Amino acid sequence: MTTQTVIQAMADKVLAGDRRALAQAITLIESGRDDHRIKALALLDLLQNSNREALRLGLSGTPGVGKSTFIESFGMMLVAQGLKVAVLAIDPSSARTGGSILGDKTRMERLTREPNAYIRPSPSQTELGGVARRTREAAMLCEAAGYDIILIETVGVGQSETVVAQMCDVFTLLLAPAGGDELQGVKRGIMEMADLILINKADGDLAAAAQRTCADYAGALHLLRKRAQDPDGFPKAACVSALQDTGLPEAWEDIQHLVTWRKSQGLFVKTRADQARYWFAQDIRNGFLAQLERDPYKQKIIDLAEKVGQGDMSPSRAAQLALASLRSAPINDANT
Amino acid sequence: MTTQTVIQAMADKVLAGDRRALAQAITLIESGRDDHRIKALALLDLLQNSNREALRLGLSGTPGVGKSTFIESFGMMLVAQGLKVAVLAIDPSSARTGGSILGDKTRMERLTREPNAYIRPSPSQTELGGVARRTREAAMLCEAAGYDIILIETVGVGQSETVVAQMCDVFTLLLAPAGGDELQGVKRGIMEMADLILINKADGDLAAAAQRTCADYAGALHLLRKRAQDPDGFPKAACVSALQDTGLPEAWEDIQHLVTWRKSQGLFVKTRADQARYWFAQDIRNGFLAQLERDPYKQKIIDLAEKVGQGDMSPSRAAQLALASLRSAPINDANT
């Protein structure tokens, strides 16, 4: 078979909802090899207009907040409604350690066994930009494979929330019950991204604390400037218990209400277009800068940095010489 | 005269301490014109090994903290000791509005009239990276012109402190007396950059509050991990009154002690080398990315973004096509 035939066959299987083909396709887009990248782009071209639309739901929460339990309970509820659910992850720590949030699938034992659920660990990458592109492309593959909901989770540290929010239709922040002081633990920037703040563990001894925390956040959200993408009452804060399955149907109703409203206003499509253009710009930037990490430029830059460090040349002059040596820089297509 | 002769003459005048030539030289390095940039780099080459060393002192503080009054009092004290003082500024707001902290020189009326003081407003630029390079180069020109102290001030908002800290030998944070709650108003990252925290307005009604604030910060600094570049007792917090000229000689002694110790440990030279390499890397990055803002790439990128926004092409494919069109990207030397 020619390469084109192989890729077409893979695309057909993904469109037919073949789980194994989906897994292979995601592995292909995650590969760092140049020849794999060419195939991955061809595959994405074939699936670009599948005319299928999944709801992309972002979920952020710090470790200990009960994220795995929430995804399991929420995912099981959706599956019970006849929906197909895919779970992806962006783990900023995997950029450093190669580890992965979802590496241990035993944390979502029931959901893992569901034929209508697909769980994929975070790709390991050296930098967040790379993880972001691969997860965004994996979401697109899951959408083409006929999944209705794509849950993209991330640990609430650093920049990964921004990355997830930029590839989701709805962004949910999961928090644990806490004292008033800890309200400041959530960065303003992250709170401003949230469409829905869910206080988990609203059960047992923590039920009262969860109610208080929820009221605190509802008050804080009220102080933020209204965004164009919000219907009345949003962003909102609510209590859930992933352990006791309470509040989950209500959260799902809220999400659906939000999506329906945004679609009616033309905002759903607009946000997706904005996001696609954002990622296009990011990809160009990253691909362009990647040239600097390759020989012969890399060595040239190291040599010039040496002179700069010794005070023999101004940083400005050295940068000008380095850029001059990039004059006919060949851009490697496969690594865009 | 040939261009080379003109530049050599300018360099000679700068080295001779000619204020008018210095002002012209700074205007040259601030220019965005390509032909000016070529001359500016030639000038920097000639001044690179002037063998003169000024102390570069960074100063950050939010509006209202009394920064202008401090610079005036501190600068007058240094001038009275026979030292030559240059004042530069990085104003992040100038990137947006074209305004400038030091535009109103009347705020430093006495210092402005001193023959041994040179005050230069922040260059107006469209982005912080551009302001940073120009201010760093202006500091180098002032150093070559024989100034002993170069005060580089910035408003304490956003990323401009990092930029200033990366071009200074000693970084000072100026604060106003405040209640305990406001301790959290200083970002941890900025506090970690500070070598010296000075609580200003330690006079009149605010004297007691300043002492408390100083004690609070001294305690907070104590909690931070010790840095390699700190002698015992540093970073430290102290009270000053720019209005009543108290605490300023002590602050100057602290700064000199810090510099002497760092020089004895080889850390002064090492930090300068690290900073030069840092700016070299930043300049390459910015110069490289600037290509994307120019035709024919700019138009190509706009066209592809349109397709991406309409969903006709994946962001990944569009980025690959854009990068392919950059294959033989000519790098314009003059704009590094």
Q: How far is CA A214 from CA A19, A149, A164, A205, in A?
A: 39, 26, 23, 15
Residues of B in contact with A40 (CB under 8 A): 316
Strands ordered across the beta sheet of B170-175: B117-119, B85-90, B149-155, B55-61, B170-175, B196-199, B236-239
Q: What's the rounded mean pLDDT across residues A254-259?
A: 97
The yes-or-no verdict on residue A335 having pLDDT over 50 is no
| Strands B236-239, B196-199: pairing kind | parallel
CATH topology of domain B1-50: 1.20.5
pLDDT at B63 over 80: no
Integer Cα distance of A4 and A7 in angstroms: 5
Q: Which pLDDT does position A188 carry in this prediction?
A: 64
> Would you say residue A119 has pLDDT above 90?
yes
Nearest to A27 by CA among B208, A19, B102, B306: A19
Write the CB contacts of A108 (distance below 8 Å, at least 6 apart in sequence): A68, A71, A72, A75, A87, A102, A119
Q: Which two tokens stand for residue B180?
A: 């305990």
Q: How high is the pLDDT of residue B92?
A: 65
Question: Taking a C-beta distance cutoff of 8 angstroms, is the pair A123, A94 a contact?
Answer: yes
Mean pLDDT of B18-39: 93
Calculate the average pLDDT of chain B.
86
Distances (CA, A) of A113 to A76, A79, A101, A108, A110: 10, 11, 18, 9, 5
What are A29-41's pLDDT values in tens digits?
Answer: 998 888 999 999 9
Specify the pLDDT at position A99. Answer: 41
Q: Which residues of B touch A314 (CB under 8 A)?
A: 41, 44-45, 48, 137, 140, 276
Q: Which of B186, B175, B246 is nearest to B212 (CA)?
A: B175
Q: Tokens in use for A97?
A: 């350690």
Q: Do B319 and A41 touch (CB under 8 A)?
A: no
Min Cα–Cα distance to chain A from B25, Å? 15
Nearest to B319 among A48, A320, A336 (CB): A336
Mean pLDDT for the stretch of residues B306-328 = 84
Question: Which neighbouring-strand residues pair with A155?
Answer: A61
pLDDT-derived band at B95 (thresholds 50, 70, 90) equals: very low
CB-closest option in B277, B317, B330 to A305? B277
The residue of chain B with its CA nearest to that of A317 is B41
State how beta strands B170-175 and B236-239 pair.
unpaired
What would the mean pLDDT of A293-299 be, rounded to a whole number? Answer: 79
Locus of tokens 């107006």: B124
In angstroms, the Cα distances linking B13 to A224, B7, B21, B43 are: 56, 10, 6, 11
A147 Cα to chain B: minimum distance (Å): 19
Question: How high is the ipTM of this complex?
Answer: 0.78
- Helix-helix angle A3-15:A19-30, to 10 degrees: 130
Query: Using CA atoms, how far apart are residues A110 and A105, in angstroms rounded to an integer?
Result: 10
A117 falls in which pLDDT band (50, 70, 90)?
A: very high
Residue B88 pLDDT: 94
Band of residue B167 on the pLDDT scale cut at 50, 70, 90: very high
CA distance B7 to B133: 20
What is the overall mean pLDDT for chain A?
A: 86
Q: What is the pLDDT of residue A125?
A: 63
Residue A278 near residue B305, CB atoms below 8 Å: no
pLDDT reported for residue A220? 80
**A148-152, B69-73, B94-98 — which is least confidently predicted?**
B94-98
**Contact in structure between A214 and A199 (CB atoms under 8 Å):** yes
B119: confidence class by pLDDT, cuts 50, 70, 90: very high
Write the pLDDT tens digit of every residue in B186-229: 666 777 789 999 999 999 989 999 999 898 888 888 777 778 88
| DSSP annotation string for B223-276 | HSPPPTT--TT-SEEEE-BTTTTBSHHHHHHHHHHHHHHHHHTTHHHHHHHHHH
Percent of chain A with pLDDT over 70: 87
Choices 3.90.105.10, 3.40.50.150, 3.40.50.300, 1.10.1200.10: CATH for A52-280: 3.40.50.300
Q: Which of B285, B309, B326 is closest, CB to CB, to A276?
A: B309
Distance from the B331 Cα atom to the nearest Cα atom in chain A, whole angstroms: 5
Would you place residue B328 in the very low, low, confident or very high pLDDT band (cuts 50, 70, 90)? low
- Residue to test with chain A: of B320, B328, B335, most A Cβ within 10 A: B320
**Mean pLDDT value across residues A98-113:** 65
Residue predicted with more confidence, A155 or A171: A171
Q: Which residue has the higher pLDDT, A188 or A121?
A: A121
- Whose structure tokens read 């409203």? A261
Q: Are B147 and B86 in contact (CB under 8 A)?
A: yes
For a pLDDT cut of 70, what percent of chain B falls above it? 87
**Residue A93: per-residue pLDDT:** 59
Q: Which of B323, B332, B335 to mutate to probe the A interface, most A CBs <10 Å?
A: B323
CATH number (3.20.20.70, 3.90.1170.50, 1.20.1370.20, 3.40.50.300) of B52-270 reads 3.40.50.300
The alpha carbons of chain B give a radius of gyration, in whole angstroms, of 22
8 Å CB contact of A330 and B327: yes
Minimal C-alpha gap between A113 and chain B (Å): 32
Beta strands in chain B (DSSP E): 55-61, 85-90, 117-119, 149-155, 170-175, 196-199, 236-239
> In whole angstroms, what is the distance from residue A267 CA to residue A29 CA?
29
**Are residues B171 and B164 in contact, defined by beta-carbon separation less than 8 angstroms?**
yes
Which helix (H) or strand (E) covers residue A198, if one does? Answer: strand A196-199
- Top residue of B38, B53, B280, B302 to mutate, by most chain A CBs within 10 Å, is B280
More confident residue, A3 or B12: B12
Answer for the pair B16, B25: CB distance below 8 angstroms, yes or no. Answer: no
DSSP string of A30-73, one letter each residue = H---HHHHHHHHHHHHHHTT-----EEEEEEE-TTS-HHHHHHH
pLDDT exceeds 60 at position A336: no
- pLDDT 10s digits, A63-100: 788 898 999 999 999 999 999 999 998 876 544 444 44
Residue A197: in which H helix or E strand, if any?
A: strand A196-199
Question: Which pLDDT band holds residue A11 (cuts at 50, 70, 90)?
Answer: very high
Name the more confident of A295 and B87. Answer: B87
Answer yes or no: is pLDDT of A179 > 60. no
Distance between B171 CA and the closest CA of chain A, angstroms: 21
Q: How many CB atoms lie within 10 A of CB B200?
A: 24
Percentage of chain B with pLDDT > 90?
54
**Rounded distance, CA A75 to CA B69, Å?**
61
Do B41 and B141 meet the contact criterion of CB atoms below 8 Å apart?
no
